[in-house]
Amino acid sequence: MGRHGTIAGRKAAQDSKRAALFTKYTRAIMMAAKTGGDPEYNASLKNAIEKAKAINLPNDKITRAIKKGTGELEGESYENITFEGYGPGGVAVVVDVLTDNKNRTTSAVKHAFDKNGGNLGVPGCVSYMFERKGVILVEKEGGVDEDSLMEAALDAGAEDMISEEDLFEIRTTSEDFHAVADALRSAGYTLAEADIEQVPNIESEPKSESEKNALLRLIDTLEENDDVQKVYTNCSVDLA
């Protein structure tokens, strides 16, 4: 089983955190809209809207978030911050946040690391173990032909495709991500997930079951924070 786990497992986890996801994606849309409110000319906004729609964020909330981002409506001021550190077992952890209060968020992230056997580090302490890559997931169910999908992905500029238990994972450069995703949609493929992520180039894993469980608790604690947008690890085993 790969790092992403099964489709069913990820969907169950998403359902249980839907309210928090609404908050996270609303903020992401606001931030993306700061550089332009038309998704046809703003790839980051287009991607944020697509992710929001995938979790059924209501259209009126999407519209309000865009207007807040462009300044048409008054809204809060957020900033992007990335935290880095080590979780239990020495697993590298990268946390992307979007916050209107840096001190509050820094304190909460540090507490999560300390409480769950990790160590919050300095910027750059683990980021060298990751690369920003486009990651596109296509479910195997529905009779998706592997060779045809791979050909379509590579022709559009993808770097690689990995076959997991119940999905195909397509990787691209961050620059080619939107072009590949759009090409696959145009070819009739349904994308279960599509985003630019921190993909590990050096992997690690907990040395015991207790360390694995502690790492999972750390990730869950971080993801429960409304300010946290994404948590990445270089853990080579599935934690779901």
The gap from C-alpha 92 to its chain's centroid, in whole angstroms, comes to 16
Q: From the first residue on, what is the mean pLDDT of each consecutive set of 10 residues in the chain (240 residues)?
A: 50 61 89 90 87 90 92 84 96 94 96 96 96 94 91 97 92 94 93 90 93 95 92 87
Q: What is the pLDDT of residue 16?
A: 53
Give the alpha-carbon dihedral of 112, 114, 118, 122, to 10 degrees.
Answer: 90
Quick check: is 103 in a domain?
yes
Residue by residue, DSSP assigns 165-224 as SSEEEEEEETTTHHHHHHHHHHTTPPPSEEEEEEEESS-B--SSHHHHHHHHHHHHHHHT
pTM of the model: 0.82
Q: Are residues 166 and 206 in the same domain?
A: no
The phi and psi torsions of 156 (rounded to 5 degrees) equal -85, -10
**Domain interval for residue 139:** 130-200
Out of 49, 70, 91, a domain closes at 70
Quick check: is 50 in a domain?
yes
Domain count, the chain: 3
Q: How many C-beta atoms lie closer than 10 Å to residue 45's C-beta?
A: 26
Q: Which residue type sits at 122? A: V
| Partners of 98 in the β-ladder | 80
Q: What is the pLDDT of residue 102?
A: 95
Q: What is the pLDDT of residue 1?
A: 29
Give the span between the Cα atoms of 30 and 69, in whole angstroms: 4
Give the CATH number for residue 185.
Answer: 3.30.70.980
Q: What is the pLDDT of residue 51?
A: 86
Quick check: is 99 in a domain?
yes
The vertex-55 CA angle with 49 and 59, nearest 5°, equals: 50
Give the CATH number for residue 27.
Answer: 1.10.10.200
Q: Are residues 112 and 217 in the same domain?
A: yes
Q: Are residues 40 and 137 in the same domain?
A: no
Nearest Cα to Cα of residue 136 among 176, 177, 95, 175 = 177
Q: Are residues 170 and 142 in the same domain?
A: yes
The phi and psi torsions of 163 (rounded to 5 degrees) equal -95, 120
Three-state SS at 24: helix
Quick check: is 89 in a domain?
yes
Q: Are residues 134 and 196 in the same domain?
A: yes
